[in-house]
Amino acid sequence: MSLFQMFARHCRVFGSHCASDGFEKQCGFPDADSHITTKESSGQWLKRPDVLAQALKGLGVALSLFVVSPAMPQSANGDIHVGRFSQGSLSSWSSRSFNGETKYEFVKDPDLGSTVLAATADAGASGRYRKIKIDLTKTPFMNWSWKVTQIFPDVDENVKSGDDFPARIYVVIERGLLGTRSLALNYVWASRHRVGSEWPSPYTTQVLLMATDSGTQGLGSWVRHKRNLREDLKGAFREDITEIDAVAIMTDADDHKGRAQTYYGDIWFSAE
């Protein structure tokens, strides 16, 4: 499950349900924060390429409606903060639904002692995305952390029926009319693929998946990542991509009708 051409089949685009043939309706952006609550934790875009690619196809259409782009969230040291979940805010983030809903809420993680974004999918899939341009010549490193509590050991991640992952972070490169030639790299916590594995989405070759974590190793613990995104994109698509247009997260379990719970920490880009 993955971005710009991905929302066609399973998503609600801007609040309206898309037909299975890929036609979509537009009716404005939902307020991502309206779905978020804050509570104590007990201890927990996007999907299919046709979903994400379509979403980001949809994203490309929708973003053209914006008159002013949001200011770049740059810190004093030059870092670009995309997701400040520790501050309990999803401002500038929008939502995309595919098949059912993943519940996103802010919780206080007992291990970190700080606020994180918890995602719970119960046979459903929806994601959160942020439209933001990142100059990879200046800040090529993508930083994030997540804590996964369970995997899907019986799924075949190479086929559509097994395209479920407890944790995903996407980056999207918007191209073509309405984003029809957009590309997406999807970092995932894989259930079966080994760490370092790369494979195309079963929905479209415009989306590549990369396993940064796998199986039970690190399960239930916070895992931190710093990836040279520019180099990863070069390896994935055989070209030097110097700018991305969106970042998305998703926890999904709709294809195999399972359940997943994952926690996401802050997401930012840095020069080193």
Domains belonging to the chain, first-starting first, are: 4-270 (2.60.120.260)
DSSP assignment of 78-126: S-EEEE-GGGT--TT-EEEEEES-EEEEEEEETTTTEEEEEEEEES-EE
Q: What is the mean pLDDT of residues 217-224?
A: 97
Tell me the average pLDDT of the chain: 79
Task: Output the CA torsion sign for 255, 236, 54, 8.
Answer: negative
Return the closest-CA partner of residue 86 out of 64, 104, 112.
112
pLDDT at 64 over 90: no
Q: Which two tokens stand for residue 115?
A: 């606020």
Looking up tokens 């996007």 gives 46
Q: What is the mean pLDDT of residues 135-143?
A: 99
Record the pTM: 0.78
DSSP 8-state symbol, 196: T
- Identify the helix (H) or strand (E) that includes residue 220: none
Q: What pLDDT score does 99 carry?
A: 82
Q: What pLDDT score does 80 carry?
A: 97
Q: What pLDDT score does 179 carry?
A: 75
DSSP 8-state symbol, 30: -
